[in-house]
Amino acid sequence: MPLDLSESLVIGISATALFDLSQADKIFKEKIDKDPETAIEEYRKYMLKNEEKPLADGTGMPLVKALLNLNKFQKEGEAPIVEVIVMSRNSPETGFRVLNEIRRRNLQISRSAFTAGESNVDYLEAFYVDLFLTTNESDAQKVIDSNVCAAAIVKAPPKAVKHLDEDQVRFAFDADAVIFNEESEIVNQTEGLSTFHANEDNKQDTPLASGPHANLLIKLSKMQERLPGRIELSPVKLAIMTARNSPAEMRVIKTLRDWNVYVDEAFFLGGLEKSRFLKAFKPHIFFDDQDSHLDPAAADIPSAKVLYPSSSPLTELIKNKKGKKSD
């Protein structure tokens, strides 16, 4: 019988999000616009020459290691609790370095896809992927637009590398345009904070619509139930870090109840800098839609940007807002 991963949490991760391949990427990007053939050949030579050299951690490594550790709770005959699949634009030849590093570290990753420069997004559904982490913006955008799974562009690996507990896995999510859809954030951006607060207070009994990472949060919540012990003591810890505050907080809590989702911690910060709280929570990954929140956090915390759908007015709205501030 073919293996069914529909009950497992499946992470698809690009090689550049799992390992630090910035030097190889730099060689490729410096020449790709001027001479694509030379760029491909130079990249190939570099990867083959260095294929026995160890690779440093990418932004997604702490998350992957902690998630794979959950498989110690897997029961005999069941599908794995977590499956990690490396999805790379390398060819199988140049991808040898990535596979070699996975074996050197004894990472329990057995599945991979190498597509020789082609997008691997079309294979996400075939692999049952719930979350795709990448450094490629066009791939992330394609996933968000297709709504096949959650997706995010990882920021550079944190400069201040700190040990993260591998006996737990800790996720931190922004709320609007990440867990929930962008409708309320558009009100905030177009009509101002007071109108946003009034709107959310008036609609507190109306559940918020699902955003691009809603299904991922729901899957994580179900995974908490699959693990041993009380849900409050689960090794999977979920937190929401949102700029919302009273009177806009009740709608969030009531929506999570409607979804039957248990979140361990929720922070309604009302303009306080998220990075201060993220340093204390120590997530293995933090998802947000705005660089103004991600950039301060990314120096210390593995962070990833959730893009808006191509049709969303938020991209232009936020860009215009930034332009006015800089004038």
Span 225-272, pLDDT tens digits: 888 888 888 899 999 999 999 999 999 999 999 999 999 999 999 989
Type of residue numbered 268: F
Does 327 have pLDDT greater than 60? no
Output 268-271 pairs: Cβ under 8 A, ≥24 positions apart.
268/242, 268/244, 269/241, 269/242, 269/243, 269/244, 269/245, 270/243, 270/244, 270/245, 270/246, 271/243, 271/245
Question: Residue 12 has which token pair?
Answer: 């698809």
Nearest CA to 212 out of 153, 274, 293, 299 is that of 153
Does 309 have pLDDT greater than 90? yes
The highest-level CATH class for domain 9-154 is alpha beta
pLDDT per residue as tens digits for the range 159-190: 866 667 778 999 999 999 999 999 999 999 99
Write out the residue limits of the CATH 3.40.50.1000 domain(s) in the chain. Answer: 169-326
CATH for 169-326 is: 3.40.50.1000
What's the distance, CA 196 to chain centroid?
27
pLDDT per residue as tens digits for the range 271-293: 899 999 999 999 999 999 999 99
Q: Express as a percent the part of the chain with pLDDT over 70.
A: 95
What's the distance, CA 301 to chain centroid?
12
